[in-house]
Structure 1
Amino acid sequence: MKNTLRHLFQPILRIFESGDDQFRYDKSHRKILLAVGVLFLFLSAISAVLAINSAQLGGLVPVLAFFLIGFVCIVVGTLGSDKAVAKIWGNK
């Protein structure tokens, strides 16, 4: 199942797994990345509720931005390699 999901999200993972540079990875980085992803998805949901209540289309821009950031964090945190997690944090 994991290999199928990795193949499905390969365009996202390829961005963070490319290159041959050195990286520094700690197990806590993956846990924190997943927590940040959940927080961004939660923030996206709150923004969506507020945008719907205010009936303004401009409120969907933050919803989309927060959702995409949270989604990428969750995908890299669950399916990405150690290098991808380190690269998203910028550890070299």
Structure 2
Amino acid sequence: MLGLLRLVLILFVVQTIAYIGLSFYSRSLRRRKLELRWSEKALPVDQETFVRRGLTRYDNSLRRKLILGVYIVPWIAISVLIYVVNFM
């Protein structure tokens, strides 16, 4: 039982590190794309406001929520593996 608890704790820590890394990486990519789009188009809004609005929309988007799959997918894979090994 202690081994299972240690496995769950280590997996959760690794998932959290991966989630934070993916979140920062994805947000920086979105920021770079927004800055590039602002520089290509002659927009009446200043760059900081344009990027801030774009990142606000990004924070509420589906893409941002899909990163939570970092927590869900490994547990589903482990559950399926346990089921297949024990019951098939």
Structure holding more helix per residue: 2
Bin the TM-score by the shorter chain. 0.3 to 0.5
TM-score of the pair, normalised by structure 1: 0.41
State the structure with more CA Rg. Answer: 2
Greater relative contact order (CA < 8 Å, ≥ 6 in sequence) = 1
TM-score of the pair, normalised by structure 2: 0.43
